[in-house]
Amino acid sequence: MKNFIKENIVLVVGLTFPLLLILVFFASTVIPKAMSVPPQYEMLFTTRVYDYQNTTDYLLDFHVKDQKLAVKVKQREDKHVNYDIKRLMAYDAKTDTVREIVVDIPTVIASAVDGVAVLNETKDMVIDTSIVSPDGYTLNGPSYSGGGMVGGLFGGGHRDSGFRLKKGSVGYKIPNTQQNYYYNQVQFIGWVIKK
């Protein structure tokens, strides 16, 4: 066996080096995430959904005032059909789930004062609008990765349309649970620090 390795050192290195690289890259991506604590706070954000079967006569604008989420409902002045509807979403990294917080527009309009209302579903939430969560995570948007000199010549490179929560080298990608949601149009609202 020793003689075979000595006589075929180039072959042995050529076969083992790629395997070692695979192990190093695997370890560098899996170990930090396994050793870290996932984000402890739900993140609220809005996104858009294209719904060609339903239109909306109202525009929704979400904002945080005094650590409470408020929604401003405004009737559309433009009478053109609009299928692009804003949705309120919550991402929980502990369970790796995204859920929609449904906004009942008639109820919001009935309870609004000067066009602004607090949602029943979020009235008990305390929301922090800091860019960095209390446990150190931030929302990172899509990125474009070049393919380098050789990859650039042959059309290499790719666009990563996913959003993720990052802390150092650890990232948690927000799952795209419904294909018609435009996750490249994510608008950050805040971190739910108390429910």
**120 shares a domain with 184:** yes
**114 shares a domain with 52:** yes
What's 62's DSSP letter? E
**125 shares a domain with 59:** yes
How many structural domains comprise the chain? 2
Mean pLDDT of 19-37: 78
Is the residue at 28 inside a domain? yes
Q: For the chain, where are the alpha helices, taking DSSP H only?
A: 2-7, 9-35, 105-111, 148-153
Stretch (H or E) spanning 172: strand 170-173
**111 shares a domain with 25:** no
Domain containing residue 27? 2-35
Contact 164, 174 (CB under 8 A): yes
How confident is the model over 51-94, as pLDDT tens digits? 666 667 778 889 998 999 999 888 777 766 666 678 899 999 88
> CA–CA separation, 117 vs 101, rounded Å?
15
**94 shares a domain with 26:** no
Query: Does residue 135 surpass a pLDDT of 90?
Result: yes
- Which pLDDT score is estimated for 114? 83
How confident is the model over 139-174, as pLDDT tens digits? 988 765 555 555 555 555 555 557 889 998 888 888
Is the residue at 61 inside a domain? yes
- Distance in Å from the first CA to the final CA of the chain: 65
